[in-house]
Every structure is written in structure tokens, then in C-alpha cells.
Chain A
Amino acid sequence: MSAFNPVEFNAGLALAEPEIFLTLAACAILLVDLLLGQASRRVSGLLSVLALLATAALVAAHPVEGRVVALGGLFELDRMAQVLKVATLLIVAASYVYSTDYLARRDILKGEYFVLGLFAALGALVLISAASLITLYLGLELMSLCLYAMVAFDRDSGVAAESAIKYFVLGSMASGTLLYGMSIIYGMSGSLDLATIAAAAQGGLGDNVGMIFGIAFIIVGVGFKLGAVPFHMWVPDVYEGSPTPVTVFIGTASKLGAFALIMRLLPEALGAAQGDWSQMLTVLCVLSLAIGNLVALAQTNLKRMLAYSTISHVGFTLLGILSGTVPGYQAAMFYMVTYTLVASGAFGMILLLARQGFEADRISDFRGLNARSPWFAGLMAGLMFSLAGLPPFVGFWAKLGVIQAVLGVGDTWLAVIAVMFSVVGAFYYLRVVKVMYFEEPVDTAPLGGSMVMRLVLSANALLVLALGIVPGALLAICQRALT
């Protein structure tokens, strides 16, 4: 443990510029919101989007090479962190654009919604650049606490309160389990610092039974946060019960945070014990692929169906991580980033179709969408094709990447299972497309949504197609992020 150096600490603050800016912006918006009247609540939303975009610009403005550690060894910045941060910030900004109208209709358009979301994004940023178990845990808790409150935000809704309690209780249990695992790892290695733990694991502690004991608890905790089977029980209920804008948040930004958590803990800190955690992840992965895809077949609620689909996509992401190779991690990162992009588009569609007193969260609510709006029906079909993994959409490349990664380490049986279940999955995604194109509309009301929301949603869906046709740029970013 080196002595504390104030000069070095202050120099390191420059690296944490985006986090500092976001904190100040969130506090400022909290105060500005007090002065705004009920009629001008949208200004808070606009300011929040601007703050997120400015933070993303700050992250992108200073690309780093390699791994830079700062702030007393508790903060690290590498390319993976920067890519995940920009992705998280942009996804949160898009979710704000999608949600403003919905919140206004439900009479829950309050500045605090945006502020809590900004703090959740801050938590994700802290988590993404954590170099120590302490910052990792604090970032995770900051993000989760904001999300618990956001799920309960519609406080007159009984369903939302119920899912908030479920999410809170199970989330706290997961945090407790994670913390227990971390404390065992700390006890074994004698350090909270990820690099020191990695060195200790390398130096012979790697296959110690105590270390594996700690890893098991960590995987349970991370499995809960990611929503992998058998720790997935909360996912469908929380997705269905929360207000749809919060579902977007949990389904996208928090998944990027959980991905960073697993990447920091397993490959980075415990890379030497890869054989052990790969086995555990294989179980989670196969179960997630099977249960996620099979149960999704039986769903009539689109939010629940997307929840089970998330579980199966988590399974696919784990496929890349458990391979334990750098190309596997790159493929998993590409998978996670593109999945959040597609999912935010799909949830955005639900928000677009929702009206006063009408949620548009059943699959039958999309009946005959083609007759009502051929443009948005086309975009939704594209998003569904991408989730199913059909070319030329980006989901195809993502699935191809992770399957190549497991084939690369010789786990052919895993690749076969993954392909088999993605065929099963294609059925329920295509059912949504069938309902949109081959059934008569029962509901002929015009689509809602402001011009800005329609533009951003269209851009989001078109990006899924564009990345599917030219995936090279994003693939290259992910490959440079992890080397």
C-alpha cells in the first residue's frame, strides 16, 4: 500500500471529469427543477439529455491507451470503460426522449425522475471504471438504489409498488451475496484492489478452494443482477410491473453496468481461476438459453416476452465470457452493446403506441400495425429480426461472434445448444411480425409520440439495420477496447 500523494490524486481528477460533470449537472438540475412550474417540467428532461450528451462528449474527448489508474488506485480508465460509458450515456439519453410523453400522460412527469436516472447513470459510470472492490460495490449500489426508486415512481400504481418491493428485496439479497463473496476474496488475497487480487490469484491462489468458494458467491450475485437463470425470478415481474420508461432503463443501461461488473470481477481480477468460473457460467448460460427462450413462447404480454428474451440474450453474452479468451470477451461486449441498442428500440415502440389509459404492452396491441403505420411496423419488424438474429440485422453478427468464440475453445456442444435455442427464439419474435402484418387492426387510433421521439426512435431502429450491413466499425471499436 503506497503512501497517499495529493499531487497525483489531483492530477487523476482530470480522468474522472465526466463523472464529476455528471454529478454537478444532476445536482444543478435538481435545483433548477424546483424553480420550474408544472407546465415547464419538460425543460428538466431537456437539460438532462443535454447533460448526458455533454458527459458522453467528455468521455469521448480524451481517448486513453492501455489502462490508467487514478484517485488512489480506486479508479481506472481503459478503452472498455470508455466504450461502455459512451454507450450507457447515449442509451439513457434515448430512453429520456422516449419516456417524456409517457410520463406526462401518466401524470408522473417530475424532475426527480430525470435526476434519479442521471444518478443511476453515474452509478453505472463509477461501476464501469472501478479498480477496486469498494468502488465496484458503491457504483453498483448507487445504480440499484436509483432503479428501486424509479420502479416505484408511479406511486399510485399497486403493481409498480409490488414489483419495486420484489426488485428491492431480491436486489438487496444479491448485493449481500456479492458482498459476502467479495469479503472472502478479500480475506484470501488480502487486498481490495483488482490488480493485486489478480496478482495473488496468478501466484497460486487461483485454484484454492477458498477462492472458488468466494467466486461462487460472486457469480450468484452477478447472476441476480444480470438476470441469468436460476436467478431470474424477478426479471419478468419487474419488467411488467414497472412503468415502461423504467423497464427501458433496467433492460438496457443497467445491463451494461452488470456486464462491466462481471468483466471487472471475473476476467480482470480472477482471470487465473478462469477454469472454475467458466464451469459455473456454463450452467447459468445453458439454463438461461433454455428457460428464457422456452418460457417466452408462452407469453402474451410483450414486456414479459421481452423480459424472457433478455434472459436468453444474457445467456448468449455469457457464452462469450465463459470462453475465457480475448476474442470471446470482445464478442460478448459487442453482443451486450448491440443488444441494449435493439432493446431500447423495442421498448421505445411500446412507448410510442401507448396512450392515455392504454399501455400497448400486449402482443395483440400490435395487431395490424402495418395498416396504421407502415414505417413503424417496418422498423419494429427489423428490431424483431435483429433480436432473432437474422441477417442483415446487427443481432446476426452478435450471435455469430459469440458462437465463434465458443467454437474457438472447442465447446461445440454449447454452440449447438445456442443455435438450437435461437431457432426456438425466432418463433416468438416472428409471431410479433406476423401479428403486425397479417392481422387486421382492432385499434385505429393514430400513433402518439412527439416529432423528436419519432425521429430518435427511427434513428435507433435504422442504426440496427446500418450496423447489420456494416458491422465493421463497431466490431473494431469492441476489438480495440479489449486486447
Chain B
Amino acid sequence: MFATILFFVFAAVLVGAALGVVLARNPVHSALLLVLCFVASAVIWLLLEAEFLGIVLVLVYVGAVMVLFLFVVMMLDINVEQLRKGIAGYWPIAVAVAGFVVFAMLNVLVARRLGGLALKTAPALPAGYSNTRALGEVLFTRYAYPAQVAAVILLVASVAAIVLTLRRRPGLKPQDVAQQVAVRAADRVRLVKMPAERRP
């Protein structure tokens, strides 16, 4: 019972925050609301006993991805008013299309309940069930092939990011650590013998 109440509370927070992401005028607010979305869905995962996924969602998405997003959004200094000018003429069409899609989707999802499919509750998990262990077991056995493909996708992402952004500019003076380590005192310090001056 308590879990059901928690579920509805966090589901409501999730839906509200998701609407906020799209509707907020300020992109920084949008990004912060997206963080709230991630946290709320992490809690829903925790309720389903998927602890590992829930924690990874908070650590990776909230901790790393969204912080980066926030930095980018704050640095870009987007002029929202100027962006809005272009869209202004299209909103009646957008509202009409979106309204039709929402109507059609509600018709299938709510009125016809996806063709009368019975809703099932998640089966209770055995005591001592470890989500991390279960994930690890399928990831490295049954799903080893897609895990490898996902690894290739990550490799492609890093290759593409480097090739699109790395520029070699002439005239830069970067540190060369090897050269710094290999330096000897004789190269840098010159001892000059000077006769001491006599006091007049």
C-alpha cells in the first residue's frame, strides 16, 4: 500500500517535471527539471527493486550528463526571445497536430485500454534477489553480443567527437612533460663567478 502511494507520488512528480522541461521558458530551468525527472524515475525503479539501475541513473545522468548539460546551457547564453520569433507563425498548426495526436493516443490508451489488455502487477522477487548480480549475469552471457555492439558505439562516439573538434593550431606552447622531466640543472642554471666588489 505504502509502495503504491509512493509510486503515484513520484509518477505525478515525473509527469509534472517532464511537462516543465518542455514548457519552461528558461533553458536552465528546463535542464534542472530534467534532473528532477531523472530522480523521480530512479525512485520508481527503486520501487521495482531495480536498485542498480536506479543508482546508475542518478550517478551517471544526474551526476555527470546533466551537470555537463547545465554548463553548456549556461555558457551558450541562448536568446530565447529571438528563438521564439521563428516559431510564432506556426503555433496554430502545431497545436492542431499535437491535439489530434493526443486525442488519437488517448483513444487507444485510455478508452480502449490498448485493446483490452489486462494490466499485470510485477511478480514478487525472491528474497535475497540482487539486481546487480542479475544484470551482470545476463549482460555477460545472453546479451554479450549487444553489449559488444554498444561498446563499438561508444568507440565511434569518441572517434567522432575527436575528429570533429580536435584542431591543431600552430604557435601554441603546450607543456611537454617528458621534456620537463628530462631537464638537467646544467641546461637552466649558469653559475657565473664574479669578483666581490670592494667596499669603497
Binding site for B on A (CB under 8 A): 4, 6, 9, 16, 23, 27, 30, 71-75, 110, 112, 115-116, 119, 122, 126, 132, 134-135, 138-139, 141-142, 145-146, 148-149, 152-153, 155, 184, 188, 208-211, 213
The distance in angstroms between the C-alpha atoms of A138 and B164, with both chains bound, is 23
B145 at the interface (CB under 8 A from A): yes
The answer to whether residues A122 and B146 also contact, given A149-B164, A188-B114 and a CB cut-off of 8 A, is no
> By DSSP majority rule, is chain A's interface helix, strand, loop, or mixed?
helix
Q: Are B152 and A119 in contact (CB under 8 A)?
A: yes
Q: Closest CB of chain A to B177's CB: distance in Å? A: 20
Number of interface residues of B (CB under 8 A): 25
Q: Are A141 and B145 in contact (CB under 8 A)?
A: no
The answer to whether residues A135 and B164 also contact, given A209-B115, A210-B108 and a CB cut-off of 8 A, is no
User: Which of these, B108, B143, B145, B150, contacts A213 with CB under 8 Å?
Assistant: B108
Q: Name the residue in B153, B155, B162, B163 with the highest tally of chain A Cβ atoms < 10 Å from its Cβ.
A: B163
Q: List 22 A-B contacts (CB under 8 A).
A: A4-B142, A9-B144, A16-B145, A71-B144, A73-B142, A112-B159, A112-B163, A119-B159, A134-B146, A142-B153, A145-B157, A149-B156, A149-B163, A152-B164, A153-B163, A188-B114, A208-B114, A209-B108, A210-B108, A210-B114, A210-B115, A210-B117
Measured CB to CB, the nearest residue on chain A to B120 is A190
List, in ascending order, chain A residues with CB within 8 A of B108's CB. Answer: 209-210, 213
Q: Closest CB of chain A to B133's CB: distance in Å? A: 15
Binding site for A on B (CB under 8 A): 105, 108-109, 112, 114-115, 117, 141-146, 149-150, 152-153, 155-157, 159-160, 162-164
Measured CB to CB, the nearest residue on chain A to B149 is A138
Q: Are A142 and B141 in contact (CB under 8 A)?
A: no
User: Which of these, B105, B112, B152, B160, contacts A122 with CB under 8 Å?
Assistant: B152
The distance in angstroms between the C-alpha atoms of A116 and B152, with both chains bound, is 11
The answer to whether residues A116 and B115 also contact, given A134-B146, A138-B149, A149-B164 and a CB cut-off of 8 A, is no
Q: Closest CB of chain B to A207's CB: distance in Å? A: 9
List, in ascending order, chain B residues with CB within 8 A of A145's CB. Answer: 153, 156-157, 160
User: Which of these, B112, B117, B156, B164, contacts A142 with CB under 8 Å?
Assistant: B156
Q: Are B163 and A119 in contact (CB under 8 A)?
A: no
User: Which of these, B105, B114, B160, contacts A146 with CB under 8 Å?
Assistant: B160
